[in-house]
Amino acid sequence: MGLSWAILLLYLIGRQRGALSIRSVMWVIAFVAAAAAVALPVLAGSFVRARFATVIEDWNYRILQSLNSIQVMDDGWMTRLFGMGLGRYPEIFYTRKPLPITPASYRFEQDNDNVFLRLFPGNPLYFEQYVNLQTGQSYIFSAKVRGMPNAVLSVYVCEKNLLYSFRCAPTIRLKAESPVSWSRQSVVIAPGKIGYSDNLLNWIWTRPIKLSLATSGSDHVDVDDIELINPAGRSIINNGDFALGMDRWFFSTDEHLAWQVKNHWVHIYFEQGWVGVLSQLFFSVYLIASLIRLVIRGDRAAAVVLASVVGFLTVGFFGFLFDTPRISMLFYFISLASLYYTLDAARVGTPIEIN
């Protein structure tokens, strides 16, 4: 909110050339009131209060992770200049353990022409797929399982979008019977009112439902031919035999520290070295400076983009920003389009007004 305040005032000062009108002041008041109306209910919630209660502890642990991640990098000037390589942090974390965490993992294996999923134990990793369940109906979950006697496949059916689960059906646990041969096991699932809301606008309040797979044993477990059979006798799971690899499947985890450094700049240094850090820093400073020049001249569009870019980069002090290709593409698309816009506005000599 403070950054948005500053950027808005920059725009108003430039727009009014030193004289703020009553109308401009009213716009500032309305803007702050709207921002407060959105932020205050969130800040008053139990989840945010719980996060703020541990903010110092979390920050210190992130500093520890950053320092230890740098220490486990390879020695040599090539690594300092160019880093360990893109996408290698989870692999390095798994083998060199900069923190006392053993992340769970998965891998696709193959027996002759048959592809199957292998889940390895550790800090929970959920291999999951969205499913469409009908309220009040019963479903049959069925899967082929293989592994040592202490290998266990846990199956969760919960309201879940990405990370946090809400209402869930009773957890299913299937124990492997043999490390050599597959055993087909089936369990009835009664989801009840999972994914259903009594609210008048239930299409807004209804949460998506996910079927998630994890291993809760001490050994890896193999899984194949997954089905979730509806009352009509049809399976609603897509790519349940994993013949198409990750199609229709994704994974999430409760422990993010094993997958990224919780600081954007340290993560860039780990993957791309000083060359990557300085390149990103130069690009960001040049982008922000170009937008500030237009904001001071009273450009509305530049003020919106500047607020977005500064807010996005601020989050980078607490996590890696480019852990998914779509976010990276969106950031650079908006940034490059904005730089083209600033060059065009500078060439014309006046900002392009967007009314």
Rounded Cα distance, 297 and 9, in Å: 12
Correct CATH for 105-254 of 2.60.120.260, 3.40.350.10, 3.30.2420.10, 3.30.70.260: 2.60.120.260
What is the tens place of the pLDDT at every residue in 22-80?
Answer: 666 676 677 677 767 776 766 666 666 666 677 788 888 889 999 999 999 999 999 99
Cα within 13 Å of Cα(71), Cβ side: 10
Q: Between vectors from CA 331 to CA 328 and to CA 335, what angle results, nearest 5°?
A: 140
Q: Parse the chain into domains and list their residue ranges.
A: 1-53, 56-102+256-355, 105-254
Q: What is the mean pLDDT of the chain?
A: 84
Q: What is the dihedral of CA 232, 237, 238, 241, to 10 degrees?
A: -110
What is the tens place of the pLDDT at every residue in 247-292?
Answer: 999 999 888 888 899 999 999 999 999 999 999 999 999 999 998 8
Cβ-in-10-Å burial (0-12, 13-18, 19+) of 8 comes to: buried
Exposure letters 299-324 (e unless 16+ CB within 10 A, then b) = bbbbbbbbbbbbebbeebeeebbbee
Work out the end-to-end distance of the chain between its first and last CA atoms, rounded to an integer number of angstroms.
24
pTM summary value: 0.77
Question: What are the strands of the beta sheet with 114-120, ordered from one edge?
Answer: 105-111, 114-120, 221-229, 139-147, 183-189
In 10 A of CB 68, how many CB atoms? 15
pLDDT band of residue 13 (cuts 50, 70, 90) is low
Share of the chain above pLDDT 90, in %: 45
